[in-house]
Amino acid sequence: FAWAAACGAYSLRAVCVGPVPPSAPALHHRQGVAEHQRYPAISPLCKMITFGLTIVRHGETWYNKERLLQGQGVDEPLSEMGVKQAEAAGQYLKDVKFTNVFSSDLQRAKQTAAIIMRSNNHSPGITIICDPRLRERSFGIAEGKPVNSMKEMAKAAGQQCPHFTPPGGETQDQVRSRAKEFIRSLCQRMASEHLACSGPESTDGPPPSACEGDACPPCSSATNSCNHPADGALHLAAHALVVSHGTYMRNVVKHFVEDLDCALPHSLKMSQMFSACPNTGMCRFILTLERNREVAPSAECVFINRKDHLASLREDE
């Protein structure tokens, strides 16, 4: 199931942008730039821009099933189960309007993004922007080997596995720096493309519920989610879909929570916060950039690692 075939079958455009992620020293150098210099200033004609960000992990590959590390050097297509997972994710998100779609430039992520958007009812013909900054962490010499082999390498080096970097691989800090750089550029892009989409400076009240009927409580904020596919984002005029990878997503969540002091749902347990995301698991955030302030956006988490769409696949097994 080649990516080229997928693009042809789904009538979607995919554009790969940007160079391969820069070297570690360059990433480290950019970390030294003041935070207020990294984010876009909003036009004085607009009070603020608020947009949704839904991040989805790619579907399963054979390497995932066999618990082998892929990283960046192993570029495998989705397995049969991975295709089903992506189709289930697409059905779950079919009525969520996405104005922008981004994907890692690795095959498993691009294929997942194409399958998801094939089912979307509101974004026909949208261009999928492939960005190498969304790639999985590089695991160096551990790529293609069992996950346990990296644990053994870490033990031999006298380190714990999450903090261990195999020779030739990326550190967690380098991955997080890549994630922060992408979020900054995403904010710039969303601000430049959707300044007119945030509505008037004042409203007559909160947006209506994302669910219909009295049986479902309002779910327009992260603190009152009701497991609806459009939770928190139904009435947003701008919404980005990003398809990436497990370790990368964990670093994005850490950036929002630890660097941006992201507001969290009351129901979210701390043990779930940085837990491993299943294949095609989803996270959603609402980001707001304020007028004339070159500062990081405020962030609100709607949900972490949601997997409701996978229930039917588990029942079929």
Q: Which of 60, 87, 136, 300 is catalytic?
A: 136
- Is 136 among the residues known to form the active site? yes
Report, as an integer, the average pLDDT of 6-18.
52
pLDDT tens by residue, 242-286: 999 999 999 999 999 999 999 998 888 877 888 899 999 999 999
What's the pTM value of the predicted model, to 2 decimals?
0.80
* Residues 6+ away with beta carbon under 8 Å from 228: 210, 211, 216, 219, 234
pLDDT tens by residue, 19-76: 555 433 333 333 333 443 455 554 555 567 899 999 999 999 999 999 999 999 999 9
Q: Is the pLDDT of residue 107 over 90?
A: yes
pLDDT score at 231: 87
CB neighbour class for 205 (10 Å; exposed up to 12, middle 13-18, buried from 19): exposed
pLDDT score at 314: 74
pLDDT-based confidence at 11, cuts 50/70/90? very low
pLDDT score at 99: 95
- Is 58 among the residues known to form the active site? yes
Q: Is the pLDDT of residue 312 over 90?
A: no
Mean pLDDT is highest, among 2-11, 34-43, 83-92, for 83-92
Report the half-sphere exposure of 268 (CA within 13 A, side-chain side): 24
Average of per-residue pLDDT values in the chain: 80
Q: Which of 28, 29, 36, 58 is catalytic?
A: 58
